[in-house]
Chain A
């Protein structure tokens, strides 16, 4: 690990000022991603500014929705009653991610800002444009079974690993920030970038821009998150999806779908969303929507399996969200979100 100085932030503004003026400085909150990457030598900041103590931990009702402070832990947000009841996709994504210990440490701002799990990114002996711009991409032409189907570039084919981010994208959450150029609101689907020629930049945040809260807008529909992984628990998604449905009587008024594990950012399946609007939910319709969602998928050598997997996952998520099929566990828990493994075996619904 490279040496660094450590500083506890005194205020949000002070944290922004300190990081903004030092190109080698970085924030740290829960530390579960940052410390790991420091140990790997992938991140080599000269200064860490600890924002975990800033008073940004409240979760409150806000404009008919919920405002989640940046420092609320993943556990706190997942079990917050209004979130678990009204935005189950968020709780499901959180509780199906990582482990209890990590969720107790991880913050709501840190989670969507975790870096890719592309194995080459963490291996300093491999070329990786995300870690070392201009060095090449070991995954293209390498073992790329966990890599992207959509929006990849010749520079990088990595996927974004956060489960939470997928749910927040489908719900059109808003990210509140304060940065060197003042405060702003970023629509969650615009937070992450596609790799293009600058894969070292994951998000549109400026250096030193601090997330202060993540806001869930008022939402009267149903939402759900579904995740497939290589083991029953404590693993990243191979593919996942979040669905938010608003109904108008028996018809779908508006559908929002974000796919996880398939792109450099949560991938909004807009063709499928358009196809569902105004329609009566049926399995056939959902099949068509899933086909539309993956029509433009561009598989790499080892990840074509994600196309049928993703399609089937999306069909099931739509069936479960619309109520045509029961959830496999209580809404808002890991058991509703997990495909296979431990799903459907809960004795005491929370």
Chain B
């Protein structure tokens, strides 16, 4: 949903769009403008952001204001609103600087709790005000912010430098080397994690983003594409695997959380060339049409037959135990027949 509109990059002219006060972005041209997008439930504890925003507004132009939930002078645009979608930042906490001509000069997506990196701040300033700044200027600025008494320009730089929320992935590469020495990045939320997975009796070591679902690790990283992605939300069963012998949904399992468990996928069910009885029965009973749901059906069925609570079930009990596996081709009668055959085997 967030990627419907390809994100604007610095240098792009921002298309017109409505602002919550009834004006439009084009009407605001002639002055730099700062757009801040935040959830309307913005945490007042992060009020320092509003202070920085206010100073930026004073320095560069008028900030655009909206949001009832806003503490004091802080206003943000609803990050789920039309403008956010328009600018490709829907659902993201973001700050954008537009110059006098409405060209996007600087854009940053703010991750909650993320620390600002001084080099990035300088890049933000220089994106709009390309006069050269030198390191002593900046060092002085960051000292002054602590002692008070400073020029407007240094104040802006210093508050920016002290702010705890900006990052600008797209411009950082262009940041001049005169920036303040960058501290080691404090944000490693997307940092890859070493993940060791035991799949079909073999151990695999991967480097994964913690967001990776087991399903995606199997399919995208390990190319075990027998496990299917249907809904990706736990509603269809196509992604069913076994974790420690029990059926489970790989789409709702984070790969990091599957460590230490014996993972069995459809690829690991047969013993060499000998099919699992459920696999053989599915073929015999023609228990599929398009076959997309079939790996998930077979994984559920084989787990069902290994489980003392469901192993001896009647047809209706099998249906109940298989209800987590949808079949769009409605091969259900044949699936039940196949499972009953395997039950007798």
Chain A residues in the interface with B (C-beta under 8 A)? 1-6, 22-24, 28, 31-32, 35-36, 38-41, 44, 46-48, 50, 52, 75, 79, 98-102, 104-105, 124-125, 132-135, 200, 232-234, 334-335, 342, 345-348, 350
Q: In the complex the two chains form, is B314's CB within 8 Å of A345's CB?
A: yes
Residue B316 at the A interface, CB < 8 A? yes
Residue B252 at the A interface, CB < 8 A? yes
Q: Which 8 A-B pairs have the closest CB atoms?
A: A99-B324, A347-B314, A233-B323, A6-B210, A3-B190, A345-B316, A234-B323, A3-B189
Q: How far is the CA of A38 from the CA of B249 in the complex (A)?
A: 16
Closest to A99 in B: B324
| Given A2-B112, A39-B232, A134-B69, 16 other A-B residues pairs in contact with their CB atoms under 8 A | A3-B189, A5-B188, A35-B253, A35-B254, A41-B1, A100-B303, A100-B321, A102-B249, A104-B248, A132-B39, A135-B41, A232-B323, A334-B320, A335-B320, A345-B314, A346-B317
Closest to A234 in B: B323
Which residue of A3, A31, A347 is within 8 Å of B257 (Cβ)?
A31
Q: Is the interface of A mostly helix, strand, loop or mixed?
A: loop
CB distance from A59 to the nearest CB of B (A): 15
Q: In the complex the two chains form, is A23's CB within 8 Å of B189's CB?
A: no
User: Given A4-B211, A31-B257, A41-B2, A200–B41 Cβ distance below 8 Å?
Assistant: yes
CB distance from A51 to the nearest CB of B (A): 11
User: Given A4-B211, A125-B80, A23–B249 Cβ distance below 8 Å?
Assistant: no
Residues of A within 8 Å of B251, CB to CB, are 35
Q: How far is the CA of A6 from the CA of B210 in the complex (A)?
A: 6
**Which among B47-55, B94-102, B123-131, B233-241 touches the partner chain?**
B233-241
Which residue of B213, B256, B300 is within 8 Å of A101 (Cβ)?
B300
Q: In the complex the two chains form, is B1's CB within 8 Å of A5's CB?
A: no
Which residues of chain B from 1 to 39 have any CB-CB distance to chain A below 8 Å in the complex? 1-2, 39
Residues of B within 8 Å of A232, CB to CB, are 323
Chain B residues in the interface with A (C-beta under 8 A)? 1-2, 39-41, 43, 45, 68-69, 78, 80, 90-91, 111-113, 188-191, 193, 209-211, 213, 232-234, 237, 240, 243, 246-249, 251-254, 256-257, 300, 303-304, 309-310, 312-317, 319-325
Which residue of B2, B69, B257, B320 is within 8 Å of A133 (Cβ)?
B69
CB distance from B38 to the nearest CB of A (A): 11
Q: In the complex the two chains form, is A24's CB within 8 Å of B246's CB?
A: no
Q: How far is the CA of A259 from the CA of B280 in the complex (A)?
A: 46
Q: In the complex the two chains form, is A100's CB within 8 Å of B253's CB?
A: no
Q: How far is the CA of A40 from the CA of B300 in the complex (A)?
A: 26
Closest to B256 in A: A6
Closest to B259 in A: A8
Q: How far is the CA of A22 from the CA of B191 in the complex (A)?
A: 19
Residues of A within 8 Å of B111, CB to CB, are 2-3, 46
Q: How far is the CA of A233 from the CA of B332 in the complex (A)?
A: 14
Residues of A within 8 Å of B211, CB to CB, are 1, 3-4, 38
CB distance from A215 to the nearest CB of B (A): 24
Residues of A within 8 Å of B252, CB to CB, are 31-32, 35-36, 102, 105
Closest to A98 in B: B324
Mind listing 5 A-B residue pairs with CB under 8 Å?
A1-B211, A24-B112, A32-B234, A132-B39, A346-B314
Q: In the complex the two chains form, is A6's CB within 8 Å of B254's CB?
A: yes
Residues of B within 8 Å of A4, CB to CB, are 189, 210-211
Q: In the complex the two chains form, is B314's CB within 8 Å of A105's CB?
A: no
